[in-house]
Chains A and B, each alone.
Chain A
Amino acid sequence: MSTRDQFIIPKRYNTFALALMAIGLLAIGALWFTHGAKGGHEGARFWASLLQNSVFFLLVVNASMFFICATTLAWGGWQMAFRRVPEAISAVVPVIGVICLGILLAIVFGGDHSIYHWTDTHHVVEDPVLNHKKGFLNKTFFTVATILTIGLWSLLGWKMRQLSRSLDEHPIADLEGRKKYIWNNTVWAALFIVVFALTVLSSSPWLWLMSIDAHWYSTMYSWYTFASTFVSGVALIALFVIYLKNNNYLEYVNNEHLHDLGKFMFAFSVFWTYLWFSQYMLIWYANIPEETVYFKPRAQGIYSGIFWLMLVINFIAPLLILMTRGAKRNYGTVAFMAVMIIFGHWLDFYQMVFPAVSPDHVPMIVYDFGVALFFVGLILWVVGRALTKAPLLAKNHPFVKESLIHHT
């Protein structure tokens, strides 16, 4: 069987994706009947699960577009051999974006204030801390910012994909035209990066996640969330690349490219730990009650198991397992670590959301894992379809040769 340039979705792939989505829907249904329908604090557990999963997977698939734009801005060529993979993953952004938007607005306007305390206007008036923050934490700002954020990600991502696909049928012959094309790409990528910096790197995690603990704040929070989702995003790209390579696609991808993806996974795992520790140590050291209130249930309370487990999965494991050159060039090791990293950062998001929603007991994580499977199935389904729409090699891109002869 020779290598192929056009992805054809195998039947098993579809079945698998649909099965995952079915399990996910069952989990969501079960959660709704056991918790969601009851409303109040019980209902918050249902919405928190949807919030955690939709925000996590939205940020993870959006990290693919960040990967494309960052490498574009750096005028990198090594990723061209598999660039269609992150492109296809970023095509999920509008889909999960709409779901996430629906969930967020349902939580904000649902009339129940168990997750976002700041939505309760009567309470805010009496609460000096929340009253002070109400210029930022209010329903109008939240709604406008969220719609703008998800809309701009989808729009600019669509533009970047269009730019890439426009070359497939209309190659550019002359050097000047190619320079112009690269410049055009650079400008759009820069626009995306600016939007990304104003959203994922600052406002979005504050609004969507940090405002669950509305009294508490940390300036490291958004960077830390970004590192979490970017390393998971690269892991997701690596998984799709390995899957396609195993099925005789992506002829020009070899372990040199895998090595670089492995380096990204290793480096950003360490970067995540750096940010995690920067946040933790300052709060631990200063020991101010209004700040330590965040870490009390997580590091020492009932969530300590998840908290320290995710530190082992997200830091110790990548550090020791992905350290050697051989491990980063091994398809099995990278695939295993990619799954571990995505799971670890999903756990990280779990302990970001739930201690504030369910402070008395740790909810059954199996349900939330089921909800995660819905999003995994959805990502598989949409990415599979997006991959079929364009050849797997952007063969007319001016930098493609650089990727084919890539050597680390």
Chain B
Amino acid sequence: MSVQKFVVGNFYDEAVLFPAVKKVRRAGYKLHDVFTPFPIHGLDQAMGLRDTSLHTAGFIYGITGTSTAVGFITWALTLDWPINFGGKPFFALPAWIPVTFELTVLFAAVGMVLTFCYLCQLAPFVKKDHFNPRSTDDTFVMAIECTEETNETEAKKFLESVGATEVTVMEKETGWWLGRYDHDTMRFQKSTNA
């Protein structure tokens, strides 16, 4: 957990946001993130984010499910407790395919949801700081992280020049915590004043 300083600007239009993202990156500012109420096609490329590896994880969970199903049923129905079903061979692969398919989907789906929650640090009772609650409503919010070399006034002016409105400097918690928003907001205020 660490509190860091950010320069935060709001955008109301994709057509302004995209060039702004490019200009901010080209100017060398450390782009922390852009928060939008809905997925915007191509924004990840514009921000220079790498492709997610969630699908690789999904593939691995999937084949884990496949092999779990085939392995377990094979063991149960050929080694541990072979039963004659209507004269079918003990190793009755076609009959197991539906179960194997279901288990593949189950493993892949549950695994990917959990991985997604882990990557996004989402869980019950976990709290994270917002830059602007309107980023879940009607505003695109861009946050630039202030490093030692960042001049806040310059950064503010630069964000305004690329089309941002209501540009502010904020101190925000970057990690997650277990607790309550009201309690922790008070804690941040104290640390800012000190």
A residues sitting closer than 8 Å to B (CB atoms) are 277, 280-281, 284-285, 287, 323-325, 407-408
Nearest CB of chain A from residue B31's CB, rounded to whole Å? 21
B97 within 8 A of partner (CB): yes
How far apart are A124's CB and chain B's nearest CB, in angstroms? Answer: 34
State the Cβ distance, A388 to closest chain B Cβ, in Å.
Answer: 35
Query: B88 contacts which chain A residues (CB < 8 A)?
Result: 287
19 A-B pairs, CB-CB below 8 angstroms? A277-B94, A277-B97, A280-B94, A281-B94, A281-B95, A281-B98, A284-B94, A285-B94, A285-B95, A287-B86, A287-B87, A287-B88, A323-B59, A324-B55, A325-B51, A325-B55, A407-B41, A407-B42, A408-B41
Across the A-B interface, the 8 shortest Cβ-Cβ residue pairs = A407-B41, A281-B94, A284-B94, A407-B42, A285-B95, A277-B97, A281-B97, A280-B94
| Cα(A54)–Cα(B94), bound, Å | 33
Q: How far is the CB of A282 from chain B (nearest CB, A)?
A: 10
- Give the distance to chain A from B147, nearest Cβ to Cβ, in Å: 32
Name A's interface SS: helix
Cα separation A58 to B95 with both chains bound (whole Å): 35
Report the bound CA distance from A282 to B41 in whole Å: 43
A323 — which chain B residues lie within 8 A by C-beta? 59
Within 8 Å CB of B97, what residues of A?
Answer: 277, 281
Q: In this complex, what residue of A is CB-closest to B87? A: A287
* B56 to chain A: closest residue by CB: A324
Residues of B within 8 A of A (CB): 41-42, 51, 55, 59, 86-88, 94-95, 97-98
Instruction: Return chain A residues, CB-CB under 8 Å to B95.
Output: 281, 285
**Within 8 Å CB of A408, what residues of B?**
41
Nearest CB on A from B93, distance (A): 10
Cβ of B86: which chain A residues have Cβ within 8 Å of it? Answer: 287
| Min CB–CB distance A330 → chain B (angstroms) | 14
CB of B95, distance to nearest CB on chain A (Å): 6
Complex Cα distance, B93 from A280, in Å, reads 12
**CA separation between A277 and B55, bound complex, in Å?**
26
Give the chain B neighbours of A324 by CB distance below 8 A.
55
The residue in chain A whose Cβ has the minimal distance to the Cβ of B98 is: A281
Closest to B85 in A: A285
| Residues of A with C-beta under 8 A to B42 | 407
CB-defined contacts of A281 to chain B, threshold 8 Å: 94-95, 97-98
In the complex, chain B residues whose CB is within 8 Å of the CB of A277: 94, 97
Complex Cα spacing A284 to B89, Å = 12
Question: Bound complex: CA of A281 vs CA of B59, how far in Å?
Answer: 25
In the assembled complex, the Cα of A52 lies from the Cα of B123 at a distance in Å of: 57
- Complex Cα distance A182/B135, Å? 37
Additional pairs, 15, CB under 8 Å, beyond known A284-B94, A324-B55, A407-B41: A277-B94, A277-B97, A281-B94, A281-B97, A281-B98, A285-B94, A285-B95, A287-B86, A287-B87, A287-B88, A323-B59, A325-B51, A325-B55, A407-B42, A408-B41
> Residue of B at shortest CB range from A287?
B86
A281 to B88, CA, bound (A): 13
- Docked pose: A370 CA to B68 CA in angstroms: 45
Cα–Cα, bound, A285→B89 (Å): 11
Chain B: minimal CB distance from A281 (Å): 5
The complex places the Cα of A192 from the Cα of B149 at a distance, in Å, of 65
Query: For A285, what are the chain B residues with a Cβ–Cβ distance below 8 Å?
Result: 94-95
CA distance A277 to B101 in the complex (A): 12
Q: Give complex CA distance A150, B121 in Å.
A: 58
Determine the residue in chain B with the shortest Cβ distance to A323: B59
Identity of the chain B residue whose Cβ is nearest the Cβ of A274 in the assembled complex: B101
Q: How far is the CB of B21 from chain A (nearest CB, A)?
A: 16
Complex: how many Å from CA A277 to CA B94?
Answer: 8
Cα distance, A280 to B95, chains bound together (Å): 11
User: Closest Cβ of chain A: how far from B89's Cβ, in Å?
Assistant: 11
Nearest-neighbour CB distance to chain B for A384, whole angstroms, equals 35
A190 to chain B, nearest CB (A): 30
A324 to B42, CA, bound (A): 19
A295 to chain B, nearest CB (A): 11
CA distance A324 to B88 in the complex (A): 37
B87 cross-chain contacts in A, Cβ below 8 A: 287
**Minimum Cβ distance to chain B for residue A57 (Å):** 31
Q: Which residues of B contact A325 (CB under 8 A)?
A: 51, 55
Q: Which residues of B contact A284 (CB under 8 A)?
A: 94
Question: Taking the nearest CB of chain A, how far is it from the CB of B41, in angstroms?
Answer: 5
Complex: chain B residue closest to A326, CB-CB = B51
Residues of chain A with a CB closer than 8 A to B55's CB = 324-325
CA distance A317 to B56 in the complex (A): 18
Bound Cα distance A408, B86 (Å): 49
How far does the Cβ of A279 sit from chain B's closest Cβ, in whole Å?
11
Measured CA separation A377–B69 after assembly (Å): 46
Residues on A with beta carbons closer than 8 Å to the beta carbon of B59: 323
Docked pose: A290 CA to B48 CA in angstroms: 61
User: Closest CB of chain A to B66's CB: distance in Å?
Assistant: 12
State A118–B51 Cα separation when bound (angstroms).
58
A307 shortest CB reach to chain B, Å: 14
Which residues of chain A have C-beta atoms less than 8 A from B94's C-beta? Answer: 277, 280-281, 284-285
Residue of A nearest to B42 (CB): A407
Q: How far is the CA of A277 from the CA of B96 in the complex (A)?
A: 12
Q: Quick one: closest A residue to B95, CB to CB?
A: A285
